[in-house]
Amino acid sequence: MAVSRPVIVAGNWKMNSTPESAGSLATEIAAATEVSGVTRVLCPPFVCLVNVRDALVGTNVEVGAQNVHWEAAGAYTGEVSAGMLAGLATWAIIGHSERRRDQGEDDVQIGRKLVRCIEAGLRPILCVGEQLPEREVGRAEATVQGQLEETIAEVARLGAVLPNDLVIAYEPVWAIGTGRTARGSDAAAMAQHVRSTLAAAGISAERVPILYGGSVTSAAIDEFLAEPDIDGALVGGASLKVDEMAGIVARAGLTAAARQAA
Ligand code: PEP
């Protein structure tokens, strides 16, 4: 069956770049990745958002934040709310495993962040993924299902509905920044499980793009793009390298063209 979901490549720059360097990096990536049919998103650090936004004027590369707080405003020193991103970003990464690990974020907080994104009109990329021991004991799917169910339950508890433009990033934690990738077939099996979990919660899962993330490079991405259930990539380290982004988006463009032709 033909796949009509968009192909998306999002770059998560993590805690890299400066306001001085970010604009030119964004400009170079935008110029090197002009491929039709691929939605491109760059997610720089908060302090670089304005530079990246300005550098991308006149391109169709979109800007994302790497996080938002789970409250709309208040006494949360050092935090940034979804509403504060108006005019700066149109996407936000939510529930990245580095924040789950380093800031102890849980699925309830992540559900609240999703609601804040909905209120602020930010398109969320919700990250889920298992730790290596969970995969080794055969609990990878149960772990991801639990993350999704708890997050969705919190969204519902707050009286919100998941947005139509939700994007999921399946990122096995053991593959992030390690140089080790999942197998394409395992990522596809997980994507199918994610869609079953979403469908069981009443969501039109066939419309939800699912990205793979975890040590994606231009040399490693084909295995994932070959899977009809995978709709692109969330790229960390390689998204700081212009040549790598050029190669990744070029390959994603082939998938987008094949989908359009089907
Ligand atoms: C990420 O930051 O979401 C990520 C997948 O990082 P890396 O590509 O460096 O593994």
pLDDT score recorded for residue 4: 87
Q: Which amino acid is at 121?
A: G
pLDDT for residue 1: 64
What residues in the chain have per-residue pLDDT under 70?
1
Give the C-alpha separation, 56 to 222, whole Å: 27
State the Cα–Cα distance between residues 108 and 259, nearest whole angstrom: 36
Q: Which of 62, 96, 227, 244 is catalytic?
A: 96
Q: Which long-range contacts (CB under 8 A, 24 or more apart) does 137-145 make?
A: 140/172, 140/186, 140/190, 141/189, 141/190, 141/193, 144/170, 144/190, 144/193, 144/194, 144/197, 145/193, 145/197
First-residue to last-residue Cα distance in the chain: 8
Asked whether 144 lines ligand 1 (CB < 6 A), one says: no
pLDDT at 195: 98
- C-alpha 96/C-alpha 12 separation (Å) is 10
Phi and psi for 198 in degrees, rounded to 5? -65, -45
| pLDDT at residue 31, as a whole number | 98
Residue 240 corresponds to which tokens in the numbers above? Answer: 């700081």
The rounded distance, in Å, linking the Cα atoms of 235 and 240 is: 9
Nearest atom in ligand 1 to 235's CA: 8
Tell me which residue has its CA closest to atom 2 in ligand 1. 236
171 in catalytic set: yes
Contact 4, 259 (CB under 8 A): yes
Contacts of 86 (CB under 8 A, 6+ apart): 120, 121
Quote the pLDDT of residue 213.
98
Q: Rounded to the nearest 10 degrees, what angle do helices 184-200 and 140-157 cross at? A: 30
The minimum-distance atom of ligand 1 relative to the CA of 178 is 10
User: Which helix H or strand E contains 150, and what residues bound it?
Assistant: helix 140-157
pTM of the full structure: 0.97
